[in-house]
Structure 1
Amino acid sequence: MSGILHVTQCLGGVETYIRSFHDHDGFADFKERLLVAPSACALTKEWENCGGTVDILPMPRELSITSDVRATLSLFRTIRRHKPNVLHLHSSKAGAIGRAAALFCKLLGQKFQVVYTPHAYYYLALEGHRRFVFLWIERILSHFTDRLLATSPSEASRSIEDVGYPQRKVVTVSNGVATTPVHTSPPTGKSHTPFTIIFVGRICHQKNVELLIETVAQFKSSESVVFQIVGAGHYDSDRQQLDALLETAKVDTGLVEIIPWLDHEQVLDRFRQADACLVTSRYESFGYVAAEAAAAAIPVVATNVDGLKDIVEDGKTGFLLTDPSGEQLASCIRRLIDDPQLSTSMGRLGKDRINSYFNIAANSQLMRKFYSSIS
């Protein structure tokens, strides 16, 4: 295969996705590997160090006719210049701009495959008429997409049922995380106190921090439990928002350990030391936090949304709740506290599930087969 061009407007989970598959040779069959990203980051540096080409193309998340037209024309020129076999678009904004640029290129006779990975459709974050409008934008753009590459089975289902992709266009190659053989797993059912619940995520609408705080507020420090909130201080406004929510809910400050930011290895170490993981997201496409927590053999208590419903088996590897209250989530956590044997069993089964279905090394080979089938 000759060349692949990845385009992303956002980093975060998308950056983790591209880095993970890149590190495990998911794109190794392409002689030329190009990446268009909104800014320089660890991914772009790693990409260049491995012989890839990087173009920086700012793509503001908000709608802007001037900026969006400029980005479309710039990407059009990039596609014309590099002539990739595969154009792989990541996230809604890059997906829209990329498919517009691809359409113009194809009208001029250029041939390549357009692959789109939503990484959680943007319309899921919206309500009312805006949700309706952006859903219809996705439906229209689906006609200019050769393959929808979903990051999870539930994202594939949503693409077919909500957006209207024909089943023949939809392929699932699940995201994955690094795993270890089950027999080498460290012991779970930790004997230390207090019982530690970890939450990892940005302070934003998607992660539903309000529900997190509502859950924490159900506990008292006398219950020997602590909630570690990781990622709440990268921006000053994040910490201010979190502090305001804690104060409004009258949360016992002894219950909470706020950790501004950690690198990836430090986060993994925190998972290994924790007793359970709480994920309160309003929507996801996959859910790296839940997967990495399960890989560390701890149970996951999560909302029943796309991605998370693929990772967590309710009652087996953790608890999965639809539109839960903080009280309901707290009840699940108390079950784990009161029954160490259940907690240990769920952790081990969760690790088994990650090894079986969300192993990045194995899924990278599936990615290579997918690209080979369309190139």
Structure 2
Amino acid sequence: MKEKIKIIHILNSVGGVDVALRLILENLDSKIFKSIAIHGINDTTTPYLDDKGEEVEEYKISIQRDISLFKDFKALIKALRIIKREKPDLIHAHSAKGGILGKTIGAILNIPSFHTPQAYSYLSAQGWFKRSMYLRLERMTSFANSKVLASSQSEMNRALKEVKYKKEKVLLFNNSITASQDVSQLSINKTWPDNYICSVGRPSYQKNIEMMIRVLAEVKHKQSEVHLVLMGIGYHSPNLSKIDKLITYLGLTENVTLLPWTSREDIFNIISNARFYISTARYEGLPYSIIETLMLGKACVATDCDGNRDLIQDGYNGFLVPQEDIVEMSEKIVRLHLDSQLRKGFEVNAVELFERNFNMEKNIEQLEKIYETEVRS
């Protein structure tokens, strides 16, 4: 019997990074691949499942989002021991912290590694010096036996042009989701009106929720009944108090519903029943919330940034607007709100784009081939 290909995934398992790995493991052929997950002690308590619904073997170590020399070194040593013992054929590192650990251990043990950044960490840096330091760290850990497995074309471009990977060291596998999703009912009480727009995004520098609230205030001048349901404000929301104060200051307390992180089924339900979706992000990897929006057949108004521009084609399935352009975005939201024919056209195109590029049931074979080619080469 042919021996399975053993792959160790290493990551700080939160948010979209957690979703990405779960979708991969739930669709990867477990007859061919043996999967193991190494992740943070406190990042998730929900077990990973394979394509048969069986629990995937996992190890928990001190991987965390924030930088801590002691905890990061401890995580490196422990992950090194685990990987040395398990002897995988391939390491697939996800997120910034997972990438540093996975690529470093791969170089030490001479194991090929892939890194999927899910948005490069240097994009989150506010200030030239900090950004240049993070970028330098990415370049320093671009070891000979590591490759980037980008989650979007924009991320691929960053790897080539800014991190300076050679072309043959950068591959693309778009974040993808499965098409069959239950959107029939909510597990939480609905406290918002039937006519609403929605978004998913924790109050943080990346998601730029301050812009979203200011856009909503501008829209309210023309559409007084506008209502925003914002999901995902629970985990790591450093700007939440600032957002609360801004909502009150702009007189939007009756126009905004803030929901803590809830189940994916609830998110699907809320998106599917919304008028359309909006995003004010400064950067993304390839955002699952917008992929879900495409799958559910919804139009989108979004800022023109990495990730968003890979999913929204301006004038085809939504609108792209310049970052920080509050007036332009508010005008596009009002237009889409009033023009039902335009909205319906975008909705049809959204589903078509999803089926063509982001359906995991079709795309998983591409990832399996990438894994096999790397191990067999």
Instruction: Check whether TM > 0.5.
Output: yes
- 2:16 aligns with one of 13, 19, 23: 13
| Compared CA separation, residues 197 and 29, structure 1 to 2 (3 A) | same
Cα drift, residue 252 of structure 1: 3.0
Equivalent position SS for 1:302: strand
Distance 2:53 2:27 in 1: 15
Per-residue Cα deviation, 1:117-159 (whole angstroms, up to 9, x for no partner): 1111100001211101111111121134432101111111111
Cα drift, residue 223 of structure 1: 3.2
Residue of structure 2 equivalent to 1:308? 308
Per-residue Cα deviation, 1:8-42 (whole angstroms, up to 9, x for no partner): 02421111001111112266521x32110103625
Aligned AA (1:37)? H
Per-residue Cα deviation, 1:142-181 (whole angstroms, up to 9, x for no partner): 1344321011111111111111111111111111122269
Aligned AA (1:291)? I
Residue 4, structure 1, aligned to residue 4, structure 2: no
* RMSD between superposed Cα atoms in Å: 2.4
| Compared CA separation, residues 16 and 236, structure 1 to 2 (3 A) | closer
Residues 73, 101 of structure 1: 8 Å contact kept:
no
Residues 219, 331 of structure 2: 8 Å contact kept:
no
Equivalent position SS for 1:89: strand
Residue of structure 1 equivalent to 2:248? 247
Residue of structure 1 equivalent to 2:190? none
Residues 160, 167 of structure 1: 8 Å contact kept:
yes
Residue of structure 2 equivalent to 1:365? 365
The equivalences for 1:258-337 within 5 A come to: 258-337=258-337
The equivalences for 1:159-198 within 5 A come to: 159-179=159-179, 195-198=195-198
Per-residue Cα deviation, 1:38-68 (whole angstroms, up to 9, x for no partner): 0362553536962421100112333332222
| Compared CA separation, residues 90 and 244, structure 1 to 2 (3 A) | same
Residues 92, 115 of structure 2: 8 Å contact kept:
yes
Q: Which has the higher contact order (CA 8 A, sep 6+)?
A: 1
Residues 301, 318 of structure 2: 8 Å contact kept:
yes
Residue of structure 1 equivalent to 2:28? 25
The equivalences for 1:178-257 within 5 A come to: 178-179=178-179, 195-220=195-220, 223-233=224-234, 240-248=241-249, 250-257=250-257
Residue of structure 2 equivalent to 1:117? 116
Residue of structure 1 equivalent to 2:136? 136
Aligned AA (2:117)? P
Distance 1:236 1:177 in 2: 25
Distance 2:353 2:108 in 1: 43
Aligned AA (1:304)? D
Equivalent position SS for 1:165: coil
| Compared CA separation, residues 98 and 180, structure 1 to 2 (3 A) | closer
Residues 232, 242 of structure 1: 8 Å contact kept:
no
- 1:77 aligns with one of 74, 81, 87: 81
Distance 1:133 1:39 in 2: 27
Residues 280, 323 of structure 2: 8 Å contact kept:
no
Cα drift, residue 364 of structure 1: 1.1
Residues 107, 145 of structure 2: 8 Å contact kept:
no
Equivalent position SS for 2:320: strand
For structure 2, the residue ranges without an aligned partner over 5 or more in a row are 185-192
Distance 1:94 1:261 in 2: 23
Distance 2:152 2:370 in 1: 15
TM-score between both structures, scaled by the size of structure 1: 0.89
| Compared CA separation, residues 235 and 174, structure 1 to 2 (3 A) | closer
More helix per residue: 1 or 2?
A: 1
Residues 203, 238 of structure 2: 8 Å contact kept:
no
For structure 1, the residue ranges without an aligned partner over 5 or more in a row are 107-111, 187-192
Aligned AA (1:3)? K
TM-score between both structures, scaled by the size of structure 2: 0.88
Aligned AA (1:247)? T
